[in-house]
């Protein structure tokens, strides 16, 4: 399975992945998903948001409400992303079902493998769009306002990919009693602990905020420095202030995306738009950090004679996973209990947990801890341990 997915959407230059939702590479991943479901006789169900689940219902499995076990992850990637973030969870879910069948295990509950769409928000800007629509955390009205960087509306992108979107409506979670997502670790906690598998305790609150710096376009040569209203300067000082705030509080602030208008070489820009990704230990500290950074930006704008407006584009509140479930899944394994660790990375599991579905995450060790980069990695041995761990977990949940 890993080799089949490997070439899909991979850039020859960087080795990174471009699997943005509803584009050809991501749709090829989706077709692969459907093939793997068919190969295992899983019954495929899709919703109007682009999410899909393949169900394993052993013969005679009673369909009591709230007793289904859902696993899976996402197939879309960030721009120039790694191979594992998302797909490792989906491939491992199919492999775990194969392991359970090899063991002769017959689940007394339905087991589903899910593929959630646009988890990264890398095309339409809202993280976990598919699972947010599925749980109602985002309304269809909000979602249909979303556009990609070329101005293509979400519904047009879905239709262009051959889908018949019906945003918001989803029966995929009906009857789901528990969700468990396996994911490559995006950090070095497991490396430092010498553990191959970890269980998530919480997801830090985090958000994406668009900073619009407006100045005055002018000639790069004839305009004296003291006569300028240069938004690039206000942006630069705000980025440095954000970095300092995060270092002081031991939290996270990143400006990774920027657009300058008109982006000319010999002109002071009229406008600079930059996106801040901020992640903090609590909701309150996230709000505080944003206020600090915006305040420092406004102060600098005052000195530069520019203006700044900040718009929250995607906010994910703190997620505390079900502690009893985490402990139940983490203990009593050959080789010892799995560590229960926090993460600063958002996941569909966070959205389902916030919607009240008992949810757990399994992390697989990433030797470098690097993610959202072509350098993201995981050892095949650890990935295979992850498959066994997911199979054990599904067995505990579905027996
Ligand atoms: O950005 C995140 O936290 C996640 O990887 N989507
Ligand atoms: Mn990611
Ligand atoms: Mn992910």
Assign residue 36 the CATH number of its domain. Answer: 3.40.630.10
Place 221 in a pLDDT band, splitting at 50, 70 and 90: very high
Rounded distance from Cα 301 to ligand 1 centre (Å):
30
The pLDDT assigned to 4 comes to 97
Q: Can you list the alpha helix ranges (DSSP code H) found in the chain?
A: 2-5, 24-39, 87-102, 129-135, 140-144, 154-160, 189-193, 231-249, 283-304, 323-330, 348-354, 380-398
- Cβ–Cβ under 8 Å, residues 362 and 93: no
Nearest CA to ligand 1 atom 5: 345
- Cβ–Cβ under 8 Å, residues 79 and 13: no
From the list 81, 372, 318, 369, the residue with the least C-alpha distance to 198 is 369
**Cα–Cα dist 279/256, whole Å:** 14
Q: Are residues 280 and 251 in the same domain?
A: yes
Rounded distance from Cα 39 to ligand 2 centre (Å):
28
When computed from its CA atoms, the radius of gyration of the chain, rounded to whole angstroms, is 22
Cα separations (Å) of 263 from 141, 218, 310? 33, 12, 21
Rounded distance from Cα 186 to ligand 2 centre (Å):
8
Residue where a domain terminates, one of 272, 291, 316: 316
What are the structure tokens assigned to 391, written together?
A: 């199979």
What are the structure tokens assigned to 219, written together?
A: 């000639």
Rounded distance from Cα 70 to ligand 1 centre (Å):
20
Rounded distance from Cα 17 to ligand 1 centre (Å):
15
Q: What is the DSSP string of 74-101?
A: E----TTB-SSTTHHHHHHHHHHHHHHH
**Phi and psi at residue 367, to the nearest 5°:** -55, -35
Residue where a domain terminates, one of 316, 335, 361: 316
Element (DSSP H or E) covering residue 151:
none
Nearest CA to ligand 1 atom 4: 346
Q: Are residues 188 and 248 in the same domain?
A: no
> Would you say residue 126 has pLDDT above 80?
yes
From the list 97, 141, 131, the residue with the least C-alpha distance to 359 is 131
Q: Are residues 51 and 37 in the same domain?
A: yes
Residue 30 β-bridge partners? none
Instruction: Tell me if the pTM is above 0.85.
Output: yes
Rounded distance from Cα 371 to ligand 1 centre (Å):
9
From the list 205, 207, 128, 139, the residue with the least C-alpha distance to 169 is 139
Mutate to test the pocket of ligand 1, among 78, 83, 187, 275 (most ligand atoms within 8 A of CB): 78
Residue where a domain terminates, one of 316, 342, 359: 316
The pLDDT assigned to 290 comes to 98
Rounded distance from Cα 59 to ligand 3 centre (Å):
33
Q: Coil, strand or helix: which one is 233?
A: helix
Looking at all shown ligands, the one closest to residue 372's CA atom is: 2
Tell me which residue has tokens 């295990």: 105
Q: Are residues 277 and 367 in the same domain?
A: no
Closest atom, ligand 1, to C-alpha of 85: 5
What are the structure tokens assigned to 213, written together?
A: 């710096």
Closest atom, ligand 1, to C-alpha of 372: 5
Q: Can you list the alpha helix ranges (DSSP code H) found in 145-274?
A: 154-160, 189-193, 231-249
Closest atom, ligand 1, to C-alpha of 120: 6
> How large is the average pLDDT for residues 293-299?
98
- Residues near ligand 1 (Cβ within 6 A): 119-120, 127, 345-346
Place 118 in a pLDDT band, splitting at 50, 70 and 90: very high
Looking at all shown ligands, the one closest to residue 183's CA atom is: 3
Q: Are residues 189 and 330 in the same domain?
A: yes
Q: Are residues 198 and 346 in the same domain?
A: yes
Q: Are residues 160 and 45 in the same domain?
A: yes
Closest atom, ligand 1, to C-alpha of 186: 5
- Cβ–Cβ under 8 Å, residues 333 and 198: no
> Would you say residue 121 has pLDDT above 90?
yes
Q: Are residues 256 and 159 in the same domain?
A: no
Tell me which residue has tokens 């530069």: 304
CATH number, position 260? 3.30.70.360
From the list 389, 272, 264, 382, the residue with the least C-alpha distance to 336 is 389
Mutate to test the pocket of ligand 1, among 20, 74, 76, 186 (most ligand atoms within 8 A of CB): 186
CA 154, 158, 162: angle at the middle one, nearest 5?
A: 165
- Enclosing domain of residue 299: 206-316
Percent of the chain with pLDDT over 90: 96
> How large is the average pLDDT for residues 231-253?
98
The pLDDT assigned to 63 comes to 67
What are the structure tokens assigned to 399, written together?
A: 């027996």
| DSSP 8-state assignment for residue 119 | S
Q: Are residues 185 and 70 in the same domain?
A: yes
| DSSP 8-state assignment for residue 70 | E
Closest atom, ligand 1, to C-alpha of 346: 3
The model's pLDDT over 309-356, given as tens digits with 9 standing for 90+, comes to 999 999 999 999 999 999 999 999 998 999 999 999 999 999 999 999
Closest atom, ligand 1, to C-alpha of 127: 6
> Would you say residue 15 has pLDDT above 70?
yes
């Amino acid at each position: 399975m890993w080799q089949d997915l490997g070439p899909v959407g991979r850039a020859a230059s960087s080795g990174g992945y471009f699997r943005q939702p509803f584009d050809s590479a991501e749709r090829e991943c989706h077709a692969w998903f459907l093939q793997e479901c068919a190969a295992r006789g899983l019954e495929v169900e899709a919703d109007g948001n682009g999410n899909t689940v393949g169900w394993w219902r052993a013969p005679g499995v009673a369909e009591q409400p709230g007793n289904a076990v859902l696993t899976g992850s996402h197939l879309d990637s960030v721009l120039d992303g790694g191979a594992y973030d998302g797909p490792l969870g989906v491939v491992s879910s199919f492999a775990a079902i194969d392991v359970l069948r090899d063991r002769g295990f017959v689940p007394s509950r339905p087991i589903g493998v899910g593929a959630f769409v646009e988890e990264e928000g890398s095309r339409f800007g809202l993280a976990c769009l598919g699972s947010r629509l599925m749980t109602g955390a985002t309304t269809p009205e909000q979602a249909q306002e979303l556009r990609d960087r070329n101005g293509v509306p979400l519904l047009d992108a879905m239709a262009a990919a051959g889908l018949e979107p019906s945003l918001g409506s989803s029966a995929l979670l009906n009857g789901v009693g528990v969700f468990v997502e396996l994911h490559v670790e995006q950090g070095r906690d497991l490396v430092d602990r010498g553990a191959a598998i970890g269980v998530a305790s919480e997801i830090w609150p985090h958000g994406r905020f668009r900073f619009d710096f407006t100045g005055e376009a002018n000639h790069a040569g004839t305009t004296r420095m003291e006569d300028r209203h240069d938004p690039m300067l206000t942006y630069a000082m705000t980025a440095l202030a954000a970095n300092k705030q995060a270092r002081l509080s031991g939290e996270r602030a990143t400006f990774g995306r920027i657009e300058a208008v008109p982006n000319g070489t010999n002109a002071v820009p009229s406008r600079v738009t930059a996106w801040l990704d901020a992640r903090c230990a609590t909701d309150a500290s996230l709000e505080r950090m944003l206020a600090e950074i915006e305040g420092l930006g406004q102060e600098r704008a005052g000195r530069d004679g520019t203006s700044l407006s900040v718009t929250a584009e995607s906010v994910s509140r703190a997620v505390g996973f079900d502690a009893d479930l985490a402990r139940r899944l983490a203990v009593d394994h050959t080789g010892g209990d799995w560590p229960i660790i926090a993460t600063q990375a958002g996941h569909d599991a966070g959205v389902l947990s916030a919607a009240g579905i008992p949810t757990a995450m399994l992390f697989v060790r990433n030797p470098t801890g690097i993610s959202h980069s072509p350098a993201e990695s995981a050892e095949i041995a650890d990935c295979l341990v992850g498959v066994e761990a997911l199979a054990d977990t599904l067995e505990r949940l579905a027996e």
